[in-house]
Structure 1
Amino acid sequence: MNSNVQLVKNILKYTFGLVPIVAGLDKFTNILTDWSQYISEGFAGMLPFEPTTFMMIVGVIEVIAGVLVLTKTKIGAYVVSAWLVGIALTLIFSWSYVDVAVRDLVMAIAAFSLAKLYEDNQTIAKN
């Protein structure tokens, strides 16, 4: 395999493995940001618990998704891609942090690309 392709795969794998883990863990500490600010007031009002509790649940999901990317890269990359699209759509529908939504859509495309790179790799290995 081309060494540049392998380099890109590794960079994307560790980016989409480690960043969700770090962001997920930060949902418990709010060192990077106050994550509950990204929840719209309307959505927060529908929650049966505090927005901070919701963000902790999100954090657990993100940590699991990151670990999945590191261990089962193709599946994990699809999960992270879908998760990022979900976040982006939520932000777009509430029309808040639209800049973050656009960034998340770009990251979703990159995570999807990682999954496709691993899919192609598995196809080649079977032939």
Structure 2
Amino acid sequence: MKKNIQLVKTLLKYTFSIVPIVAGLDKFSNILTNWSQYISEGFAGLLPFDAATFMMIVGVIEIVAGVLVFTKTKIGALIVAAWLTGISLTLLFSWSYVDVAVRDLVIAIAAFSLAKLSEEKL
């Protein structure tokens, strides 16, 4: 049982390290998607710079979060869970990309689960 729990923890740790880093890097290249499309027009209008610049800032935050998950798993996983919850709430409040919002909430729960697993000595 302990071995299975360790396997799950390791899989989650690498997933929540690699995926945010890749998504963060993609904010600079937009190979996976045009990230600016996820910013509501109302929010974009409040920014002191264009949406692409905002997404690059988001990318840096995501890269740092991924590195934190790898180096300080518990705190990094909590940051990723909070970050994904914030994204979900933003999307739900604007009622755009509701499917992405729900998906991100589920992923946030998985990140929170990694944080809880990281409290235990396995």
Structure-1-length-normalised TM-score: 0.94
| Correspondence for 1:80 | 80
Structure 1 letter corresponding to 2:63: V
DSSP 3-state at the match of 1:120: coil
- 5 Å matches for 1:23-102? 23-102=23-102
2: distance between equivalents of 1:79 and 1:9?
A: 17
Root mean square deviation of aligned Cα: 1.0
> Given the two structures, how large is their TM-score scaled by the length of structure 2?
0.98
User: Could you tell me how far 1:2 is from its partner in structure 2?
Assistant: 1.1
Percent identity between matched residues is: 78
Report SS of the residue matched to 1:29: coil
Partners of 2:15 and 2:90 in 1: CA distance: 23
- How many residue pairs get matched? 122
Unaligned runs of 5+ in 1: none
Q: What amino acid maps onto 1:59 in structure 2? A: G
